[in-house]
Amino acid sequence: MIDLDLDMRQYDCPFIDTTDDVDVGFSAVQWQLDTDAAKLETRLIAKAGSRGALDDGLRALRAHPNMANCYILSKRDNVAEIGTKIEQTNAMRTIQRNGGYITGPFRIENGRERWHVGFDADDDEDRTLAELERHNDFSVENRDRVGPSTLFDLLEHSESAMSLLEGCRSLTETERETFEVASREGYYETPRETTLEELADHFDISKTAVSMNLRRSERKVLEAAMGAIDRMDDDERL
């Protein structure tokens, strides 16, 4: 199976047009493409910079000519869970017509979408990408050819992967930034290419504060990794 990550801009998508105009982003949780009715039904999380921006985004989404239905399932502050039904876009139709598969959820922000698309054959992929170029703007961010054994391994250990992902998501913005800068600057290399004092200067805080931020981020990531390893061991025993 050929797996592509596409950075996509469609010119007939309600979500893209809305994120172009309003500070709001959408993440698809559940989705179903009805090819007979030529419609895509989705459950999404909408998150905006403020409550007012969320309201503006939802109004713009409802008013889009390609939006068939849009309703709120739950809402709190600047986040809402919504249900939508949109007209099938050119990109969806092109992928489906050429034997491709939309294999992962959508993420839409700042007028762009991240798509995960699969193909069984190189010819299907080449034909689809050539047709997509006529009516869409996109770039291939990543391409993998996944064999059956690799795919089985991914599916078998999906809970382990989710455990690790949730651990990374638990990092605060400060913890994540400190961890990323320390890694990028070589703090974890042997010998170290940067010091706590240099990191403290970078963030304009004390060495103690940098050390605490690093320890918290390290602990969260390590606990998530150990939890993922435990689940992998359980899966293999089963």
Tens-place pLDDT, residues 134-166: 999 999 998 887 655 555 555 566 677 777 778
Q: Which residues pair with 48 in a beta bridge?
A: 24
Could you tell me what percent of the chain has a pLDDT over 90? 61
Mean pLDDT of the chain: 87
Taking the model in full, what pTM does it have?
0.61
Residue 66 is classified by DSSP as T
CATH architecture of 152-237: Orthogonal Bundle (1.10)
Reduce the DSSP state of residue 26 to 3 states and report it.
strand
Task: Locate 88 and state its tokens.
Answer: 């099938």
The Cα 9–Cα 28 span in angstroms is 16
What are the tokens at 45?
């999380």
Q: Where in the chain is the domain with CATH 1.10.10?
A: 152-237
